Amino acid sequence: MGDKVDLSKLAARKAAGEKLTMLTAYDFPFARLLDEAGIDLILVGDSLGNVVLGYPDTLPVTMEQMLHHTRAVSRAVQRGLVIGDMPFMSYNVTVPEAITNAGRFIKDAGADIVKLEGGEAVAQTVAAVVRAGIPVCGHLGLTPQTATQLGGYRVQGRTAATAKKIWEDALRLEDAGASMLVLECVPDRVAERISRSLRIPTFGIGAGPGCDGQVLVLHDLLGLGGGEIQPRFVKRFAELAETTLSAVGAYKDEVEAGTYPAVEHCFSIPDHELDKLDEP
């Protein structure tokens, strides 16, 4: 495809003030639809854990699970860039292990970029992964893999001191060679200042419109998120849970009433062949 996204085009679009788009996907059919819709970056998030695999949070997600789903997404995406999210403990133990695991996302699973959470603490790892030739997306603010340390799933950077720390971390990651940053649950005016001060694009989720782009969990946007509690930043652009329930309910009713399958859904056999069935 002629308009294949690449990192230099993303940087140029930031410089031109154009907004960028990122969404999560975990499987082939949704990834294909997002790519067809022109979404720039398809993130195989470790939100896989809670969104698709039924875990309470992202912590149990393994490298093998992430690679499996990243492969499916990579097979579908032609225009956008695929980001593989490095799961908890796949980059936090040693730098060589982080490089090896990041490499698996690229070599074995077809991702273009890897994402990892944290600031100063992972800056050396980011630099090493980038030196190995692998583009990195950082993730600051509310970092779900370390939510317990942050006091739970809450907005980060609401005081000058904590906002400054996120800002310093962002600059540190840019210096380390990160190609882009996710800013999650950060006050809008803080995220805007951070975004303006960086050369690399920022993608906000609960971080306001001043970021260079936005990212959402696909299932939240589609109304498939489940659960009554939705974070304030989620906008449901569709109600697919309702649509799915009504379609499945109609299927059940028709099967039970004997009206589905109808003639047009059946395969035929010629009469003379059918007659032979009854012959001894």
Compute the least distance from the CB of residue 85 to ligand KIV, in Å. Answer: 5
Return the sign of the alpha-carbon dihedral for residues 97, 99, 102, 104: negative
Q: Does the footprint of ligand KIV cover residue 24 (CB under 6 A)? A: yes
* 182 is a site residue for ligand KIV (CB under 6 A): yes
What b/e readout covers 17-43, taking b as 16+ CB neighbours within 10 angstroms? eeebbbbbbbebebbbebbeeebbbbb
Residue from 46, 169, 174, 220 touching ligand KIV (CB under 6 A): that is 46
Q: Does the footprint of ligand KIV cover residue 25 (CB under 6 A)? A: no
Between 187 and 206, name the residue whose CB sits nearer to ligand KIV. 206
Cα separation, 162 vs 144, whole angstroms: 17
- Indicate whether 47 belongs to the interface with ligand KIV (CB under 6 A): yes
Q: Which one from 174, 184, 192, 239 is the annotated catalytic residue?
A: 184
* CA pair distance 253, 158, nearest whole angstrom: 52
217 binds ligand KIV (CB under 6 A): yes
Minimal CB distance residue for ligand KIV: 45
Q: Which is nearer to ligand KIV, 48 or 98 (CB)?
A: 48
* 168 noted as active-site residue: no
Contact status: 212 vs ligand KIV (CB under 6 A): no
Q: Closer to ligand KIV at the Cβ: 167 or 203?
A: 203
Strands 20-24 and 213-216: parallel
3-state secondary structure of 229: coil
Q: How far apart are CA 230 and CA 257, in angstroms?
A: 37
Convert residues 82-101 into a mask of x (bound to ligand KIV by CB under 6 A) and - (unbound): ---x----------------
Considering only residues 114-153, where is the footprint of ligand KIV by CB under 6 A?
Answer: 139
Contacts of 189 (CB under 8 A, 6+ apart): 208, 210
Taking the mean position of all CA atoms in its chain, how far away is CA 61? 14
- What positions carry a catalytic annotation? 184
